Amino acid sequence: MAKKFYIETLGCAMNVRDSEHMIAELSYKEGYEQTETLEEADLILINTCSVREKPVHKLFSEIGVFNKRKKDGAKIGVCGCTASHLGEEIIKKAPFVDFVLGARNVSKITEVLHKPKAVEVDIDYDESQYAFGDFRSSPYKAYVNISIGCDKQCTFCIVPHTRGEEVSIPSDLIVKEVEKAAKTGAKEIFLLGQNVNNYGRRFSGEHPKMNFTNLLRLVSEVDGVERIRFTSPHPLHMDDEFLEEFANNPKICKSMHMPLQSGSTKILKAMKRGYTKEWFLDRALKLRQMVPDVSISTDIIVAFPGESEEDFEDTMDVIEKVRFEQIFSFKYSPRPLTPAKDYEDQIPDEIGSQRLTRLQSRHNEILDEMKSERVGKVVDVYFEELRPGGKVAGRSDNNVMVQVDGSEELLGKIVTVKITDAGRLSNFGVVIA
């Protein structure tokens, strides 16, 4: 009988793709099969996130539970960003852990599996040209990495310390991945990197000069690719050329993630984000002008050290002006290895909570205003998921989630739908073509 592995993935899309890579390596090189039942697994993996403190705290209780529930002889591996950051400390604190595998070392999964108490967390390791096996959790869309690591030094962020310096993946390898995915039916390609529109900053070998806009053009020329999404771009690198390609290339989905972090120029400076409130507003409003149907999402941190009421009002002002379709908002969480944790004027937790509530309530009001504007709109939906009650769900080009009555025959198809009922995040519609 084949050996089985169980995997839990926390964090961002990059981690989802890293898990897919590990699944591919385990399946093709070691003959493992995936199971959803922890108790029958021979190998239990947790792919961790370290961006905020809470999930890191929870890690040890969670692996403690795994250890109690696992079958005799099953191995436990801790992978991902917390693995990079804590390294052997994990085995010291939880001696039952069999190996620790960093976010930049996932290609070594089949090695560490056979080395008792292995700790592979080298953040200088170059995985940018490693040919991973094929595995995708969805047949309809394919995540494709375009770079590893991050060269920015945002003062709140631990990621540069867990994923190392930024290296772009050679464009011919990216195009090959995209061709493979498109051939097997993935109409949608999701390009991934910590900072995608900084593509081409550094390659590990010889490579012709190339930027993200050039890469978008290359990918959109691949046969079978109908939709391109990407995450995360950085507002600083949103030059006119990039915005024009985004607006004019029909294959690029009209949904942009623009991580604001703060609306105050003073706080943005303390965060080392490299742009001002005015630059961000200029880019976002230009985008709205160029692509009237665009949907813009963002990440916001409240209560960064030194954030005054006035600074917070600047953030509220940006959400009024941009009217984001989606906001991922967080209370600042001091992280090890980051300069901001030592800044004076850390903000008390209650103030952070109050600001977060205010931001989220106002954003919900904005969403309620926007949802009625959606009713009656006609959108092209790429169906990818069956839902209970005889429904099928998919996303429009501009990232609106829509459900219609239907079944398997709609899966993998792009179909025109009229929105009949709109909620904040989920909408209902009828197929019209």
Cβ proximity to ligand SF4: between 22 and 150 the closer is 150
Q: Out of ligand 5AD, ligand SF4, none, which partner does residue 315 contact, by CB within 5 to 8 A per kind? A: none
Q: How far is CA 78 from the centre of its chain?
A: 20
Shortest spacing between CB 165 and ligand SF4, in angstroms: 11
**CA-CA distance, 433 to 421, in Å (whole number)?**
18
What is the DSSP track for 19-74?
HHHHHHHHHHHH--EE-S-GGG-SEEEEEE--SSHHHHHHHHHHHHHHHHHSPTT-
Q: Out of ligand 5AD, ligand SF4, none, which partner does residue 332 contact, by CB within 5 to 8 A per kind? A: ligand 5AD
Across the beta sheet with 99-102, the strand order is 33-34, 4-9, 43-48, 75-80, 99-102, 118-120
Dihedral sign for Cα atoms in the order 154, 159, 162, 167: negative
Asked whether residue 49 is marked as a ligand-binding residue, the answer is yes
Query: Which listed range, 5-13, 124-132, 146-154, 279-287, lies at the site for ligand SF4 (CB under 6 A)?
Result: 146-154
Q: What angle do CA 118, 121, 124 make, to 5 degrees?
A: 140
234 binds ligand SF4 (CB under 6 A): yes
Name the residue number minimizing CB distance to ligand 5AD: 299
Q: Out of ligand SF4, ligand 5AD, none, which partner does residue 194 contact, by CB within 5 to 8 A per kind? A: ligand SF4
Compose the 152-171 pattern: x for residues touching ligand SF4 by CB under 6 A, - for all others: x-x--x-xx-----------
262 binds ligand SF4 (CB under 6 A): no
Sole residue written with tokens 């005889």: 390
Q: Out of ligand 5AD, ligand SF4, none, which partner does residue 75 contact, by CB within 5 to 8 A per kind? A: none
251 binds ligand SF4 (CB under 6 A): no
**CA-CA distance, 185 to 223, in Å (whole number)?**
11
What is the DSSP track for 283-313?
HHHHHHHH-TT-EEEEEEEES-TT--HHHHH
Q: Where does this chain bind ligand 5AD (CB under 6 A)?
A: 51-52, 156-157, 259, 261, 299, 301, 330, 332-333, 335
Asked whether residue 253 is marked as a ligand-binding residue, the answer is no
Q: Out of ligand SF4, ligand 5AD, none, which partner does residue 410 contact, by CB within 5 to 8 A per kind? A: none
Shortest spacing between CB 385 and ligand 5AD, in angstroms: 24
Dihedral sign for Cα atoms in the order 26, 31, 35, 39: negative
Q: Which residues bind ligand SF4 (CB under 6 A)?
A: 150, 152, 154, 157, 159-160, 194-195, 234
Annotated binding site for [4Fe-4S] cluster: which residue ranges? Answer: 12, 49, 81, 150, 154, 157
